[in-house]
Structure 1
């Protein structure tokens, strides 16, 4: 289209445009028109090259009559340089070259400086419009990329949260069910009533595990389907947890020295840490293990200490399992800390420190 325009149109009197036959166009002018028109196919991939060819063609045709129409081609090339060039530096250099050719062209034809200034301003505006469109597009792409990254981060955090909750619930309840089922199998012949009580405890733990799983799976449902979900467990639910592990065979004693009302997130983390610690005692120490749970306030923190008195010869896993990792994550997310390790006199000790306000440092 640009090629046909430059070939068949020329300036007429009073800034009008006239049609002319192709035979009136010199061969070298026709060649320049053909090159500048053909190179526009590269305006998206090589916009600076296109601008350079357009400016060079305009400069070569300064002595000829149709130079102004090559200037029109340069205007399109300036827009392409602003719109598609990755850097503005080369585009500004091309703009300066185009303005220089414009000044020379208008000087040769004796144009007024007002006309030269208007042409220079118009060239800058054309380039700037293309540049602003590119910058706006880049900003939209970057915003979309950030939104996608944020969405992926939220999904990853939610998956980690759900995985941690599932582990806490399933590991605790299934551990108690396993211990109770083993105890029932051991005493079924000698003590049928004890075996029946143990299996009743297994049934109760299974029902509670199903209730917890239903609650967690409700998190995966749409918002409109989440009605009726109960609250997350807190420190007020500790007596029920202690009763469960006592029914499983642990000798648990708890000392509660807390006086300050705690935020829900702190209560949930404290409950899950105690639950996981008692589950580990039940799993590795077995029924009959004496265990102590201490809760106290230390300045701006609360300290949760779970100590068991398992036999000194009892072996524990050398590497931290998912339970200890989950406890440490819960404490760290609140700005607290977790210490775990065997005791010299036997048994295992878990100490968690959580800020009273639940705000990470």
Structure 2
């Protein structure tokens, strides 16, 4: 994209101090006309001063050609015009010089001082010349002498004021255009910067939502499949010794598989639709919206659906019952009066307990586990602690793999809501997972 400033810079192709070739050609033409005028007026000047005609013409030509430098040194041009005013030369030089001076970036006090000097010089020379012409007519007193001051003042103002006022107007307009061009360049740069930031924010929003969905998928799949593997291992161990128990474990594996498939379908439905499982209907084309708005809207919509369809603390008994059915000795205790929390808080508390139980299945199969939930005034606390696993060989080895993402996901969930998460081994050889969540999430009504 080419900016306004780039267009202006590309147009500066003139030689030397000229910005454009057209300006250079104009100044050369004006200087030639001024040199011709001053050269012609130099004949009369040489005659009055008693100098050779060639000297007067040469002096006028040099003075007239000074107009060539009106853009670079306007003060020098005006001073030359003032200097040759007594010789009655340089009418075009004076007008163009004053215009160039007024249109330049020089301080206004310099422009006013030089314009005043030019006006005074023109006034004096005009008055002297008019009085001399009247005196040469031979009238006593000279006819019309009372009008000489008025004529001189009018001539001085007529020669000085119009070019100065026009130059001031053109200079002000030029500065205004430069200011508008700079503002347009600044605005375009700001818009580009905003577009880049919007793109970065949209990418960040998409990344956050991908992380959130990956965390949900991990929690759902890891817990259900871990229970399925535990039941399958138990099924393998008792298949020949206790067929009735084997049938019961097989039924539990089937139930776990169906529940895992149901939760996966719900999760994938969030990705395919934006309204709780209903497919989006085609709509009429609308005006395009910024990419950042799309990213934020998609992330917010997906988050709302996940939160609304996600688990809650009321399902904690069922979660613990599933682990008990898999052979884990789990003790659940609840302190305080249960009450309603924001969907994010309940879902996070549930997922922390779920992932902690999953880790016990993976790393400490058969260990006694304690799940504690405390409802407090301004927060909700949960803790899952297991004893050391029994001796090797006492239970079937499920050989569950671990990706190392469970604890990281739990910490991200808790800290994202402004809570505190702590995990680590206990002195007795077990493992403890503790989390505290605020009852009211900031920014959630």
TM-score by length of 2: 0.57
Unaligned residue ranges in structure 2 (runs of 5+): 35-66, 72-101, 119-158, 280-304, 393-399
Unaligned residue ranges in structure 1 (runs of 5+): 1-41, 72-95
Structure 1 runs of 4+ with >4 Å offset: 45-53, 55-62, 64-68, 106-111
Instruction: Give the deviation of 1:355 after TM superposition.
Output: 1.1
| Rounded Cα–Cα distance in structure 1 between residues aligned with 2:103 and 2:353 | 75
- Larger Cα-atom Rg: 2
| Rounded Cα–Cα distance in structure 2 between residues aligned with 1:65 and 1:243 | 106
Map 1:249-264; keep pairs closer than 5 Å. 249-259=327-337, 260-264=339-343
- Residue number among 271, 274, 278 corresponding to 2:350 in the alignment: 271
Match of 1:192 in 2: 243
Larger CA deviation: 148-157 vs 299-308: 299-308
Q: Deviations over 1:200-221 (max 9, x none)?
A: 1111111111111111112212
| Rounded Cα–Cα distance in structure 2 between residues aligned with 1:123 and 1:130 | 10
| Rounded Cα–Cα distance in structure 1 between residues aligned with 2:248 and 2:379 | 41
Map 1:199-348; keep pairs closer than 5 Å. 199-223=250-274, 226-227=277-278, 231-259=309-337, 260-286=339-365, 288-298=366-376, 300-311=378-389, 321-348=404-431
Change (3 A) 1:327 1:202: same
| Rounded Cα–Cα distance in structure 1 between residues aligned with 2:6 and 2:379 | 65
SS in 2 for 1:112: helix
Change (3 A) 1:291 1:99: same
SS in 2 for 1:266: helix
RMSD (Å) for aligned C-alpha atoms: 3.6
Change (3 A) 1:64 1:206: farther
TM-score by length of 1: 0.70
Contact 1:234 1:267 in 2 (8 A): yes
Instruction: Give the deviation of 1:47 after TM superposition.
Output: 4.8
Determine if the alignment matches structure 1 residue 142 to structure 2 residue 225.
Answer: no
Map 1:36-115; keep pairs closer than 5 Å. 44=7, 46-47=9-10, 50=13, 53-55=17-19, 61=28, 63-64=31-32, 99-100=105-106, 110=160, 111-115=162-166
SS in 1 for 2:233: helix
| Rounded Cα–Cα distance in structure 2 between residues aligned with 1:183 and 1:54 | 93
Determine if the alignment matches structure 1 residue 350 to structure 2 residue 401.
Answer: no
Instruction: Give the deviation of 1:53 after TM superposition.
Output: 4.4
Q: Deviations over 1:326-358 (max 9, x none)?
A: 011111001111111111212211111111112
Instruction: Give the deviation of 1:46 after TM superposition.
Output: 4.2
More strand by share: 1
